[in-house]
Structure 1
């Protein structure tokens, strides 16, 4: 069985061959991202997710920051593969940065002490849902993307470069753009290993 939504989910793939040939305007992309994040659920309707959309020089600057940070960590003789990977992200139309506002998480922990240990977990879940919602919405528009995690290595530099609040905790980076190389065949593990049904 399939339905319209699950068919849309199948279009959301990790796309690494990105380009700048996107038909949507920057404003329309931003509107799409905003709507997808706003309609994503969060515990207690806390709306902890924060998003920064980077285009043009700001997009390039983000990947310059990542490259500078990785040069300190990756051996020089192994950096070519890393450099090529970063170039594929830089080739895209832009990057979406996903954050969680930890001030809200802390306030909720204080207000609802019984659930204090759960709020950081629920924050991570809210972030994941927001990321997936945006990723799927982009795929509907034939815009490719992938999800990257160079945090916390780049956190301080990103906050400083884009003048972001200290309470915003970077969770992921999503380079996006035109699909210049399609994803390969997706493999699925056996259903029996993942699902159980009881009547």
Structure 2
């Protein structure tokens, strides 16, 4: 009798053991840093000290700077169409984030300590972990194309792309995501003497680490 009881207990125990399998955890949070290259053109006084014989007019001055962005993000990832085999899928990645622009430069007026809202949204292709609930892989990769909408003291948007590496455990997906604007956002001012002049050129690059929940 004891032998049968031991055999049943062993079978029941083995039934509860399963190989590591990638999870499809739809919600995630991540933290990261970004680089925001900025090019700004604005009028400055040509003769600020009022020297005689020099004009009192204004000239256009261009400033180039790289701003640091500290950010956090909440997201929703979902495979919408599973390809054959269960290790590939097409889906979406919807994200909402917030961050803080920072720089020690004194000549980038108005851009330091700015609160930024960020909404990068992607259509994704995934292989391996996180591709579908049928995936048996512990590692995976995802790529995405979409659009990023952002706002601080002005709204701007740009086409965006992302690349993601995933490590899956039985409880969570851990990932490293790199994203970048595919082209800078340009804003123009119209001056009576110069015509249209590019007043602002801004672009965003991000690296974040996160996990599902």
What TM-score do you get using the length of structure 2 for normalisation?
Answer: 0.25
Which of structures 1 and 2 has the larger relative contact order (alpha carbons within 8 angstroms, sep 6+)?
1
Whose strand proportion is higher, 1 or 2? Answer: 2
Structure number with the higher helix fraction is 1
Rg larger in structure: 2
